[in-house]
Amino acid sequence: MSLYLFTVFVSFVINMALIIPFINFLYRIKMQRTDQKTKDAFDEPTPIFDRFNSGKTGTPVGGGLLIIITTLVVFSIFLSFFSLFGKKIIGNYPSIISEIKIICFTFISFGLLGVYDDLSKIFFWKKNNFFGLRIRHKLILEVILALIVAYWLYNDLKIDIIYVPFLGVYHLWLFYILFAAFVIVAFANAVNVTDGLDGLASGVLLVSVSSFWVVARSIVDVPTSLFVSSWIGGLFAFLYFNIYPARLIMGDTGALSFGATFAVIGLILGKAFALPIVGGVFVIEIASSLVQLLSKKFLKKKIVPVSPFHLWLQYRGWGEPKVVMRIWLMSIIFAILGLMFAFMK
């Protein structure tokens, strides 16, 4: 256990040392939040969102990129230590390489998609007359990446089951690929939706990812435990600069990468049932947005004045720090409940 805690510490120190130069670099290349009026999926203006978030204009965007790079570097270094000192790398699957490949591919590929979307929003929208990737184009790319990952989970790791406490094990066979792809895309977008307030998504992620760290350690899954240790250290450092008022924003780069990877880790650990419970805040956020979008499309009216959930709380008069900290507490309760189900036999 001490090795994994040391990994967290090293990752934290490295990120803390690099994050201020990284912020300055983002300022130099003008990778900052613009004052472009936001629009929802139906190209309608969102004045309520703009009212509460206009003060964030100029904040550097793309903080997730640093965490992606440092996490992969720290993970590679400590994984190499196991080989150098002759320690056996134990995993839950016969192919350790496949497990590492799946996690790293998800982390990098969804991050690259997010990088493009962040760059589009800041630098390219005036030329191409759109605000980042159109939602349908981004969704198509997410589905393609998720299907690749889901196929590897099914074919390389031979995962095709879901365990439901008290009810037993259910074999999905080939349908597992569709199920896993759906889960990955859903959480990628759920974290993206949650990343609307300073410290909100990063704080909830820290709690949720740490929960699966506990699970990974309990079943002695070395590759996943080391990866999550490296990731947690980066999230700690990022959260220090992301809390209100934020000096750095995660952006789609981090949100898409972290959401998809969180889902993949839950699937690799065999905790598909616990995944939406541990990530309960993300489920509430994406569900509130989805209900609002569907009501506008089919009922031609809004069910609530504004979504997602955190923005509705602001609309009701809650200050941003109050919303964030109380949702952090919600995420801790969800994590405790999710871990309870994760360890049920």
Q: Taking a C-beta distance cutoff of 8 angstroms, is the pair 120, 132 a contact?
A: yes
Do the domain assignments include residue 213?
A: yes
Do the domain assignments include residue 309?
A: no
Quote the CA–CA distance of 142 and 119 in Å, as a whole number: 17
Do the domain assignments include residue 282?
A: no
160-187 per-residue burial string, b: 16 or more CB within 10 A, e: under 16: bebbeeeeeeeebeeebbebbbebbbbb
Q: How far apart are the first and last CA of the chain?
A: 24
CB-based contacts of 42, cutoff 8 Å, min separation 6: 293, 296, 297
Do the domain assignments include residue 224?
A: yes
Quote the CA–CA distance of 9 and 230 in Å, as a whole number: 9
Query: Residue 181's domain spans which residues?
Result: 2-47+56-272
Number of domains forming the structure of the chain: 1
Token output for 293: 């979008």
Do the domain assignments include residue 289?
A: no
Do the domain assignments include residue 329?
A: no
Do the domain assignments include residue 277?
A: no
Q: What is the pLDDT of residue 166?
A: 85
- pLDDT tens-digit profile, the chain (345 residues): 788 999 999 999 999 999 999 999 999 998 887 755 444 443 344 666 666 666 677 899 999 999 999 999 999 999 998 777 767 788 888 889 999 999 999 999 999 999 998 888 777 654 443 445 677 888 999 999 999 999 999 999 999 999 998 888 999 999 999 999 999 999 999 999 999 899 999 999 999 999 999 999 999 899 999 999 999 999 999 999 999 999 999 999 999 999 999 999 999 999 999 999 999 999 999 999 999 888 888 877 888 888 899 999 999 999 999 999 999 999 999 999 999 999 887
Q: Taking a C-beta distance cutoff of 8 angstroms, is the pair 320, 196 a contact?
A: no
pTM (predicted TM-score): 0.92
